[in-house]
Amino acid sequence: MAISASQRRGNWAEQRALRLLRGTGWQLLARQWHCRWGELDLLLHKPQRLLLVEVKSRGRRGVDGWGLASFTPRKRVRLSRAFDCWLAAHPHYQHCSLELVLALVPQPPAKEPVRWIRCWG
């Protein structure tokens, strides 16, 4: 099955965010993890902590602010349900605190840095 241009851009953005986070000591637990409720883009771990990263990427800053507007309340509910599903399959992480971060990743040729927006946790 061929990968679309949109999927390639999304994969590139996730990889960029992942490289930055690994550089600060985070370890990847899951990438593009799916269940019936949705997908977890990136889920990372440090001792006693989990970081759930929703990655949004655009080629230019539009009316949705690099993808910020697409992070709707409905999307947040789906993300929360997907995480609950992941956690049920990995109960040994239940003791960890959780933080949700939105990573706004500009696509080339944009020169802006990744914007990290803490949503909760």
CB-based contact 11:52 (threshold 8 Å): no
Coil, strand or helix at 31 = strand
Residue 120 pLDDT greater than 80, yes or no:
no
If pLDDT is split at 50, 70 and 90, which confidence band does 3 have? confident
Fold of the domain built from segment(s) 5-120: Trna Endonuclease; Chain: A, domain 1 (3.40.1350)
Distances (CA, A) of 114 to 34, 105, 108: 24, 5, 12
**Can you give the pLDDT at residue 22?**
98
Select the more confidently predicted residue: 93 or 109: 93
**Can you give the pLDDT at residue 66?**
57
Which token pair is 32? 């593009």
Q: Which residues of 49-70 are buried (b: 16+ CB within 10 A; e: fewer)?
A: ebbbbbbbbbeeeeeeebbeee
AA letter at 114: V
**Can you give the pLDDT at residue 121?**
64
Residue 13 pLDDT greater than 80, yes or no:
yes
Residue 39 pLDDT greater than 90, yes or no:
yes
Which token pair is 38? 């949705």
pLDDT digits (tens, 9 = 90+) for 50-75: 999 999 887 655 555 556 777 888 99
**Can you give the pLDDT at residue 63?**
53
CA distance 36 to 82: 8
Residue 42 pLDDT greater than 90, yes or no:
yes
The domain locations on the chain are 5-120
Sign of CA dihedral 64, 119, 29, 82: negative
AA letter at 4: S
